[in-house]
Amino acid sequence: MLQSIVDIQRDIYLAFAEHIKTFANGGGWAAFLAFLPMGIVFGAVHAMTPGHSKALLATYLTGSSAKITRGLMVSIALSVTHVTMAVLIALLSLPLVSVMIGSAGSAPLLEDLSRGLLGVIGAWMLWSALFRPPHVHGEQEGVAVGLMAGLIPCPLTLFVMTFAMSRGVPEAGIMFAAVMMTGVALTLCSVASATVFFRTQVERLLITRPTLLTRTSKAIEAIAGVVLVAVAIHEIMH
């Protein structure tokens, strides 16, 4: 299954590279714009591969009190930040690459910053579960989680942006990034919706037992916090 996803992703990427090359050589906008919607498919498929903070997104939403709307907001914030960081790094490549990019497609400094901030969120969730009365998490918190998790730039967007800039058509790379962002958001929003739906179903089963519901919610929030802290420490150490 994963190999099939990787193969589809590779084929779309190579096709985009060819269209960007043709556009750069004077091929005109028509063919490029006609193929551009495939970027949505590319982004959705790409987001299915390991990474993209899907597990962290699901962990946070499982331990929070977020409803569907806020879950979607977190997903969109994560998607926009994830792709936008790659675009910005490419556009500011000379001063930033030597500082932030250790090798093609990775950004050690941003990865450590992102994981560290998520670790702080996890520690806060753990403290909240242990010492605070039941409460509803604010919308700002959810968006902040999305922004923090998305700090790690999308490597494929970075590759496409670099390729487009090397051909002298950065606008083609930016347009690709915009449609790809939509595809990434669709996949992450699906993950968020499924997570919130299943958590809500569990809450409904326990609604007639308020004490058990409160204890279960607190336990899940604490576990989610521990997982976020553990992932942050593991990723930073390795």
Annotate 181-207 with DSSP letters as a single string: HHHHHHHHHHHHHHHHHHHHHHHHHTT
Please report which confidence band the pLDDT of residue 126 belongs to, taking 50, 70 and 90 as the band edges.
confident
Euclidean distance between CA atoms 54 and 46, whole angstroms: 12
Note the pLDDT tens digit of each residue in 17-69: 888 888 888 877 888 888 888 889 888 888 887 666 777 788 888 877 778 88
CA distances from 222 to 50, 60, 148, 229 (A): 25, 10, 20, 11
Does the reported pTM lie above 0.75?
A: no
Q: Say if 156 falls within a structural domain.
A: yes
**In this predicted structure, what is the pLDDT of residue 103?**
47
Residue carrying structure tokens 């910053």: 113
Q: Say if 238 falls within a structural domain.
A: no
Mean pLDDT of 208-233: 74
Domain holding 70, by residue range, is: 2-115+136-195
Residue carrying structure tokens 């093609």: 104
Q: Say if 22 falls within a structural domain.
A: yes
Kindly tell me if the per-residue pLDDT of 179 is higher than 90.
Answer: yes
Mean pLDDT of 4-27: 80
Q: Say if 68 falls within a structural domain.
A: yes
Mean pLDDT of 199-212: 76
How many independent structural domains does the chain possess?
1
Angle at 190 between CA 214 and CA 202, to 5 degrees: 25
Note the pLDDT tens digit of each residue in 76-123: 999 999 899 888 888 876 445 444 444 444 556 666 666 676 677 778
